[in-house]
Amino acid sequence: MPMVDIDWLKEHVKVPAGLTYEQLAKDLVHVGLEEEEIHASQVTGPIVVGYVVDCTPEPQKNGKTINWCHVDVGEQYNDTDENGNKVPRGIICGAPNMAAGEKVVVTLPGAVLPGDFKIEPRKTYGHISNGMCASERELGLGSDHNGIILLNHYGLSKEEADALKPGDDVMHLLHLDQPVLEINITPDRGYTLSYRGVAREYHHSTGAAYTDPVVALNAKAPKGVAADKADIEVEIEDNNPVHGVPGCDRYYARIVRNFDPSAETPSWMRRRLIRAGMRSISLAVDVTNYVMMDLGQPMHAYDLDKICGPIVVRRANKGETLTTLDGKKHDLSVEDLLITDSPDGKRSSRILGLAGVMGGLYGEVTADTKNILLESAHFDQVTIARSARRHKTPSEASKRYERGVDYALQPAAAQMAADLMAEYGHGEPSDTPIDVDHTQPREAIDFKFTETKRLTGLDTSDKRIREILEDIGCKVSDGKEEGHISVVPPTWRPDLTMPCDLVEEIARLVGYDEIPITMPPAPVEGEVGLTPDQQRQRDVANELAEYGLVETLSYPFVGDADFKAFGYDADEIKPVSVEVANPLAGDRPYLRRDVLPTLAQTVQRNLRRGLENISLYEIGHVYLWDPNAPAIPALPGGQRPTEEQLKALDAGLPEQPLHVAAILTGKAVETGWLGESRDVDYSDALEAMNRVADRLGAKVQIVQPQPQDVPMQWHPGRAAKVMAGDTFVGMVGELHPHVNTALGFPEHSAAFELNLTALFATLSGKPVQAKPISTFPPVKQDLAFTVPDSVTVAQLQQIIEQAAGDNLESIELFDVFSGNQLGEHQKSLAYSVTFRSPDKTLTSDDTEAIRKAIVDKAETIGAQLRA
């Protein structure tokens, strides 16, 4: 993001003396330019002006010649001789341009240069060198390392240079002590990718006087002339506009002749470019970059002698390729916009570059270029954005074009570049530019003054609104109706298209802090409060935590390792899993279909950290891909899709039910002074699951499949389906020993997973209808039955409940055993039952009748009452 250098900013806006970067950041954030970072200076002093008193070349054995110099660095920093007199410092310098009588930059012991380069006195070439004369590169001011900085030839005026005395501080002179402010630019504010724009925003924030540099440049810039008299012929053709918008609506080109290719970029420009994060390359290139940073207009400089007119701006043809400046070869798309020229009379046969993105290898200015063709064009945002995205070549130019460049800026930008090339490179700008201009004046926005209050609550006067809009560059005239104005936004603000855009401008310039604080009226329609399902989700979460489990959240990403550990057939599960196209972890590109595999990763992490008895749960979504789902259509925003289109959007999405899963490992009860420990097994998972069901008031049944029908993740003899009526809602039991082993879990680690979406759907949500409480006395009995192994507890209990009818108050299994005395494949189930009648005291005859009914019914499933 762009750097803001106060020294450059003040070209366009009057900043107060002593403005700090901290204050600048505060001022800019107020109008919406956010501080990213204030980059502190990487240089500390003392760094001072030195006058070279003498300079003695000393040839060395290695063939080099070094200079033994004495440099006057002023009273404060000079050396002291044996007699206490101040004398110039002895300094060794290898630079070829070192000479007596020059004013140089001396970094003294104690100074620190970029890269944490500490200056110390050092013994070298038989002398003590007591400081260093610095080059531009050593100071971080540029790339020049051909010699040291000679202040008389460093872009200072003669008066300024003459005024420098030995010992004067150079840190400030060369901006070495200056930090620089990096700001964030939101995508709508392309114009603030320039000093012209940032300065205007600074003006909006502080009221400081602002001068738009473009006004003066426009006054100087020559108008385009007829094609036959112009510098070069330019044709724009577009057979494939994107969204019907031509790729190029303005192409302004102007020639600068007799440019001195050996001319150097002035130090101030180099310094500013470097502080802005650019490299200094050559005067011609630096000027185009400087103009881009200053005004926001990307420019291209061609070597005129290599270009054959006419220049044609057109879309690429199928099969065309281009190697860009960075050496990358691109297969071009018919949507790419190109700058081409016409060698050997073959019109548009040579590609010069990808318009607005990057130039090609041919045609660029070089170290020999004498005649320059300046391109200052306006390209369509979408066309440029797509090309930059397609070819993965974002550039400073494309960054600006895709955010929108001022479409009236082109002549002024070319004028500024031409001026700089004339001043510093002795170039001769032509007066016959070509200006192919198809831009359309902007439509006025019909703006109602009251819109500001309607959207923001701000009570801003009509007069103030007008002032603000004019200050941001709008042309305001009376509207068609009373209370309306007609607002033409400035050419550099493509983001302003709707009344609400203008409201934002007004609000941010008045200040968001001025907006009065109000509270919206509470809604009066519709249901309020959590929905039953939202409340249920909380109940599930709280119940499991109260039961002793710890809630966690895992990333929903899974891959081969998880499938393998859980015994899934990868070939079966992948086609029904949602796959991420650009996963962060290449080995986990899928989204989970159940929570257990990702919850297991969390359990593993805890175990690896030496924690024991880890019992966790997670509530989260799973994602069920349907390979036959229809493709999702692309629809435009800003208009309501039809009902059919809305259905088509959702039809392509995977189902994403909410699940809860728990894994229990280690001890269910820990050994302590209260008693012995007990390991987790299926019963703990079952109990936890039952607690959830009970808390929800869900009637679930445990249906235990035959071992061969139990899914691979589960222990074949210790797992069951959880059913809510006819709805399958999940599984509970011990994980398969293979799974426990693969995950490094203790034996008998247990788990459950419930589809909460499905379970909640079985709940009526109606209030519980309470039964009357009987106050007649209870009759308590124990009933023990011998049953075949194949009879389950649930079956027998159901029989007892049916037989006892309304008189059964409670039934509890209190003993289960099997043994030789019972016979083979038999087991004993003992229940403690309580009978109580709702409407009378049970007599012994009544009780005997109930008991007999139970015994008779139990016999139908082979259960015998034990004596």
Partner 1 sequence: MAQSASFDAGAVTDAVAEGISKIKSASTMEELKAIKTEYAGAESAMTQASRAIGGLPKDEKKGAGQLMGKLRADFGRAFGLKEAQVKAEEETRQLASETVDMTEPINRKPLGARHPLPKLMEDVEDLFISMGWQISAGPEVETEWYDFDALNFGPDHPARQMQDTFYVKGNQAKDAAGFVGSNMVLRTQTSSDQVRALLTRGVPLYIASPGRVFRTDELDATHTPVFHQCEALAVDKGLTMGDLKGVLDKLAVSMFGPEAKSRLRPSYFPFTEPSAELDLWFPDKKGGPGWIEWGGCGMVNPNVLRSAGLDPDVYTGFAFGVGMERTLLLRHDINDMHDLVEGDVRFSKQFVMGE
| Touching partner 1, residues 179-208 (CB under 8 A) | 186-189
**Does residue number 64 form part of the binding site for partner 1 (CB under 8 A)?**
no
Residue selected from 158, 673, 726, 764 as contacting partner 1 according to rule CB under 8 A: 673
- Tokens read off for 75: 């009273």
Q: Which stretch binds partner 1 (CB under 8 A): 315-323, 450-458, 727-735, 753-761?
A: 450-458
User: 514-523: long-range contacts at Cβ-Cβ below 8 A with a sequence spacing of 24 or more?
Assistant: 514/458, 515/456, 515/457, 515/458, 516/457, 516/458, 518/457
Site string for partner 1, 15-34 (x = CB under 8 A): --------------xxxx-x
Residue selected from 237, 326, 443, 579 as contacting partner 1 according to rule CB under 8 A: 579
Residues paired with 834 in a beta bridge: 780, 810
Q: How far is the CB of 688 from partner 1 (least distance, A)?
A: 10
**Does residue number 833 form part of the binding site for partner 1 (CB under 8 A)?**
no
Q: Which is nearer to partner 1, 137 or 508 (CB)?
A: 508
Q: Which is nearer to partner 1, 265 or 398 (CB)?
A: 398
**Does residue number 571 form part of the binding site for partner 1 (CB under 8 A)?**
no
Cis peptide before 59 (omega within 30 of 0): no
Q: Which is nearer to partner 1, 385 or 854 (CB)?
A: 385
Residue selected from 456, 460, 713, 755 as contacting partner 1 according to rule CB under 8 A: 456
CA distance 530 to 536: 9
**Does residue number 761 form part of the binding site for partner 1 (CB under 8 A)?**
no
Q: Largest Cα–Cα distance in the chain? A: 133
Q: Which is nearer to partner 1, 96 or 511 (CB)?
A: 511
Q: Which is nearer to partner 1, 167 or 620 (CB)?
A: 620
List Cβ neighbours of 843 (8 Å cut-off, separation of 6 or more).
Answer: none
Name which of residues 242 to 301 contact partner 1 (CB under 8 A): 242
**Does residue number 647 form part of the binding site for partner 1 (CB under 8 A)?**
no
Residue carrying structure tokens 């003392």:
46
**Does residue number 523 form part of the binding site for partner 1 (CB under 8 A)?**
yes
Residue selected from 634, 770, 773, 867 as contacting partner 1 according to rule CB under 8 A: 634
- The identity of residue 150, as a single letter, is L
**Does residue number 676 form part of the binding site for partner 1 (CB under 8 A)?**
no
Question: How does DSSP classify residue 517?
Answer: P
**Does residue number 530 form part of the binding site for partner 1 (CB under 8 A)?**
yes
**Does residue number 672 form part of the binding site for partner 1 (CB under 8 A)?**
yes
H/E run at residue 763: none
Q: For residue 598, what are the CA distances in angstroms to 543, 583, 809?
A: 21, 16, 43
Question: How does DSSP classify residue 672?
Answer: B
Q: Which is nearer to partner 1, 302 or 625 (CB)?
A: 625
**Does residue number 487 form part of the binding site for partner 1 (CB under 8 A)?**
no
Q: How far is the CB of 861 from partner 1 (least distance, A)?
A: 36
Contact present, 23 and 29 (Cβ < 8 Å): no
Q: Which is nearer to partner 1, 226 or 581 (CB)?
A: 581
Q: Which is nearer to partner 1, 640 or 840 (CB)?
A: 640
**Does residue number 346 form part of the binding site for partner 1 (CB under 8 A)?**
no
Question: How does DSSP classify residue 529?
Answer: S
> How many residues bind partner 1, per CB under 8 A?
114
Angle ∠(407,412,414) on CA atoms, nearest 5: 100
Report the SS3 class of residue 72.
strand
Q: Which stretch binds partner 1 (CB under 8 A): 52-60, 89-97, 666-674, 821-829?
A: 666-674
Q: How far is the CB of 657 from partner 1 (least distance, A)?
A: 11
Site string for partner 1, 497-516 (x = CB under 8 A): -x-xx-xx--xx---xx-xx
Q: For residue 31, what are the CA distances in angstroms to 27, 36, 512?
A: 7, 15, 9
Pairing relation of β-strands 779-788 and 826-835?
Answer: antiparallel
**Does residue number 614 form part of the binding site for partner 1 (CB under 8 A)?**
yes
CA distance 571 to 587: 15
Contact present, 552 and 599 (Cβ < 8 Å): yes
- Tokens read off for 492: 């550099």
**Does residue number 591 form part of the binding site for partner 1 (CB under 8 A)?**
yes
Q: Which is nearer to partner 1, 546 or 806 (CB)?
A: 546
List Cβ neighbours of 173 (8 Å cut-off, separation of 6 or more).
Answer: 164
- Tokens read off for 241: 């506009």
Nearest to 73 by CA among 142, 132, 153, 140: 132
Contact present, 472 and 505 (Cβ < 8 Å): yes
Q: How far is the CB of 685 from partner 1 (least distance, A)?
A: 14
Question: How does DSSP classify residue 152?
Answer: G
Burial of 811 (0-12, 13-18, 19+ CB in 10 A): middle
Contact present, 49 and 168 (Cβ < 8 Å): yes
Residue 230 phi/psi, 5° resolution?
-80, 165
Q: How far is the CB of 501 from partner 1 (least distance, A)?
A: 6
Q: How far is the CB of 360 from partner 1 (least distance, A)?
A: 24
**Does residue number 57 form part of the binding site for partner 1 (CB under 8 A)?**
no
List Cβ neighbours of 476 (8 Å cut-off, separation of 6 or more).
Answer: 466, 469, 470, 485, 486, 487, 488
**Does residue number 319 form part of the binding site for partner 1 (CB under 8 A)?**
no
Q: How far is the CB of 721 from partner 1 (least distance, A)?
A: 26
Name which of residues 66 to 105 contact partner 1 (CB under 8 A): none
Q: How far is the CB of 751 from partner 1 (least distance, A)?
A: 15
Strands (E), 756-799: 779-788
Q: How far is the CB of 601 from partner 1 (least distance, A)?
A: 8
**Does residue number 525 form part of the binding site for partner 1 (CB under 8 A)?**
yes
Report the SS3 class of residue 372.
strand
**Does residue number 687 form part of the binding site for partner 1 (CB under 8 A)?**
no
Q: Which is nearer to partner 1, 129 or 602 (CB)?
A: 602
**Does residue number 616 form part of the binding site for partner 1 (CB under 8 A)?**
yes
CA distance 41 to 24: 16
Q: How far is the CB of 565 from partner 1 (least distance, A)?
A: 17
Q: Which is nearer to partner 1, 631 or 867 (CB)?
A: 631
Q: How far is the CB of 582 from partner 1 (least distance, A)?
A: 6
Residue selected from 216, 611, 794, 813 as contacting partner 1 according to rule CB under 8 A: 611
Q: Which is nearer to partner 1, 99 or 635 (CB)?
A: 635
- Tokens read off for 297: 């207009």
Nearest to 255 by CA among 313, 311, 301: 301
**Does residue number 561 form part of the binding site for partner 1 (CB under 8 A)?**
no
Residue carrying structure tokens 């070939």:
571
**Does residue number 640 form part of the binding site for partner 1 (CB under 8 A)?**
yes
DSSP secondary structure of 203-218: HHHH---B--HHHHHH
Name which of residues 366 to 395 contact partner 1 (CB under 8 A): 381-382, 385-386, 389
Contact present, 815 and 784 (Cβ < 8 Å): yes
Residue selected from 215, 219, 581, 770 as contacting partner 1 according to rule CB under 8 A: 581
List Cβ neighbours of 709 (8 Å cut-off, separation of 6 or more).
Answer: none
Site string for partner 1, 205-244 (x = CB under 8 A): -------------------------------------x--
CA distance 184 to 201: 13
Q: How far is the CB of 842 from partner 1 (least distance, A)?
A: 37
**Does residue number 545 form part of the binding site for partner 1 (CB under 8 A)?**
yes
Residue 183 phi/psi, 5° resolution?
-115, 160
CA distance 855 to 843: 18
Name which of residues 123 to 142 contact partner 1 (CB under 8 A): none
Site string for partner 1, 391-430 (x = CB under 8 A): -----------xx---------------------------
